[in-house]
Each structure stands twice: as C-alpha cells, then as structure tokens.
Amino acid sequence: MDTLTLVQLAVLAAASALVGFSKTSINGANTISLAVFAAVLPARESTGVLLPLLIAGDVLAVLVYRRHAHWPTLLRLFPAVAVGLVAGTLFLKYAGDGAVRTSIGAILLIMVGVTLRRRHRAGPPEGEERAQAGGRAHVASVAAAAEGRAAAEGGATAEGGARSEGTNRTAATDSRPSGRRARNAARAQAGTYGVLGGFTTMVANAAGPVMSLYLLSSGMRKLGFLGTSAWFFLIVNVTKVPFSVGLGLIDGRSLLLDAVLVLFVLPGAWLGRRCVDRINQRLFERIVLVATVVGGLQLLLL
C-alpha cells in the first residue's frame, strides 16, 4: 500500500464508488469491487481495507431501506453465519492469497449454478404463473356456478356432505408432513447459505452474492431484498471488525487509505438510490446473477 500509483488509486476509487452503488441498488455488483481490490492489493490486505468502506456503505443503505427489512429471515440466518465467521477466521489464519481467491470464486460460481437450477425446476416466470392462475380461477368459477345450480335443483345429500368433510380432514392431515418438510427445507437452506455467507464475508468480504442468491431464491422482492441485505451486512460487518483487527488485516495504514476512499462511497450510494427505482424486478435479478458470475470468474482468473 505504500507504493500505490495514481492509476491504482483511481482504480480503487472507482471500486469504492461501486461499493456505495451496490449497497443501495444491486448488491451482487459488489463482487466486482472485491475483485478489483484483490487485484490491486494483496488479497489478505485488501479485505482489511475494504471492510470499513463496506460498513460505510451499509450505514447509508440502512438509512435508506431500514423499513423494508424482513427480520424473521435475518434471525434464521445469524446462527449459521456465526459458524461461518469462525470457520473463515481459521481459514484466513493459515491460507495464502491464492487459496483465498480460488475458493471464493469457486463458491460464487457454484451458488449461481444452484440458483439457476432451482429456478428452472420452479416452473414458469411470474407473469405466466399469474396467467395460469387466472385461467384456473376462471375454470373454478365456472365449476362453482355449475355446482350451485345443481344444489339449487336437487340439494346436497347428508352422505355427500359427510364424505366431503371426511375428505377435507384427510387432506388437512396429509398436508401436515408436507408443511414440515417445507419448514425443514427452509431451515436447511438458511443454514447452508448462512455458513457460506459467514465464511465468504470473513475471508474476502464476498458474502454479497451468496446472500443475494439466498434472498432471490426465497422469493424476496426488490425493496425487501435491499432492506434485509442492508441490516444483515451492517450487523455482520461490524461483528467482523474485532476478528480483522486480531488478524492484522486492519491497521493504521489501511485506515488511512480508507479515509481517502470513503469519499467515493457516498456518490456511489447516491447514484445507486437514483437508479434502483428504474430497474424492474426481472432485470434486477438478472443483473445480480451476471454480476456474481463476473466477480467469481475474476477471482478465479486473477
């Protein structure tokens, strides 16, 4: 860091502006920033320089989106994130720069593949689902009308009513295991993403894409996504500070560089807030995925 050129400082300034932009608009774009910092600085040192800038961006994001957070999602994640933080700290203590970059890049690309596979299995896009739901509702209304006419003509027998009630009870009973399976699957998903998020954020400040993929796979809409991400990263990044200081990643030199670069986080956050309202949900999700792939490939190829 003592021998940074003006070109390197300019590149870091642009990456710092992207930090602010990602915090208030497209969180996955942050992987490009961490790849740039890892390219200009040694990988381990880059995590210490980047962390205070991320916290500054987190504070701005919370100020803008604090009312849109989904706290049940956050509370499900935090226990698993704590496990990931401890694992990441141990990994950083012994791993070299090359191992850090390769492992994070591979994790990001794997998570993109998992998300795309889950979407493919989930069925048609939201617009098509609404059209299909409308068609089903129309058929159901026609059937209900026919049933009403039949009831008016002949009435329902007591035996039929009892049989219908028994069927409803059976259906309700059958739905219980399905509900338990869904809850268990949701807990397992939160645990997996939480551990990966804690590990990647500790090792390379790269939990943005992991959490983005988790929130997208949970069906979270744009503002809920941004509000939940803002609170999550503010809490987690502040928690990481003592670990980073203990590992020697944050010191006086890194903070001096942060004092200069933080000035570029602010305009980036302002630009992101201006742009987010112009991005529709489908485009928002696609940009997050593309940014994740770009960041992962950069880490692997550096």
Full DSSP string of 164-181? HHHHHHHHHHHHHHHHHH
Sign of the torsion formed by the C-alpha atoms of 13, 15, 16 and 20:
positive
Residue 157 maps to a domain: no
CA–CA gap between residue 206 and residue 292 (Å, rounded): 10
CA–CA gap between residue 301 and residue 28 (Å, rounded): 19
Q: Tokens in use for 201?
A: 């954020």
Residue 65 maps to a domain: yes
Interacting residues of 214 by C-beta distance below 8 A, sequence separation 6+: 77, 189, 190, 193, 197
Interacting residues of 28 by C-beta distance below 8 A, sequence separation 6+: 22, 208, 209, 212, 287, 288, 289, 291, 292, 295
Q: Tokens in use for 65?
A: 């989106």
Q: What pLDDT, on a 0 to 100 scale, did the predictor assign at position 258?
A: 94
What domain range is 253 assigned to? 6-126+186-301
Residue 139 maps to a domain: no
Q: What pTM was estimated for this model as a whole?
A: 0.69
Of the candidates 228, 45, 28, 54, which has an alpha carbon nearest to the alpha carbon of residue 108?
Answer: 28
CA–CA gap between residue 302 and residue 299 (Å, rounded): 5
SS3 140: helix
Residue 150 maps to a domain: no
Residue 169 maps to a domain: no
Residue 151 maps to a domain: no
Q: What pLDDT, on a 0 to 100 scale, did the predictor assign at position 128?
A: 42
CA–CA gap between residue 214 and residue 232 (Å, rounded): 12
Interacting residues of 259 by C-beta distance below 8 A, sequence separation 6+: none
Residue 136 maps to a domain: no
- The answer to whether 152 and 177 are in contact (CB under 8 A) is no
- The answer to whether 230 and 69 are in contact (CB under 8 A) is yes
CA–CA gap between residue 143 and residue 103 (Å, rounded): 56
Residue with tokens 């009312």, as numbered in its chain: 67
In terms of C-beta density within 10 A (0-12 exposed, 13-18 middle, 19 or more buried), how is residue 13 classed?
middle
- Other C-beta atoms within 10 Å of 14: how many? 14
Q: What pLDDT, on a 0 to 100 scale, did the predictor assign at position 127?
A: 45
CA–CA gap between residue 246 and residue 219 (Å, rounded): 38
- The answer to whether 36 and 15 are in contact (CB under 8 A) is yes
Q: What pLDDT, on a 0 to 100 scale, did the predictor assign at position 124?
A: 53
Number of domains making up the chain: 1
How far is C-alpha 31 from the chain's CA centre?
12
Tell me the pLDDT of the chain (302 aa) as tens digits: 567 889 999 999 999 999 999 888 876 667 778 778 888 888 778 889 999 999 999 999 999 888 888 898 888 889 999 999 999 889 888 877 778 778 777 877 877 776 677 667 655 544 444 444 444 444 345 444 544 444 444 444 444 444 544 555 554 455 556 677 777 777 787 888 889 888 888 887 877 777 877 887 777 887 888 889 899 999 999 999 999 999 888 999 999 999 999 999 999 999 988 887 777 767 777 777 787 787 778 777 76
Residue 13 maps to a domain: yes
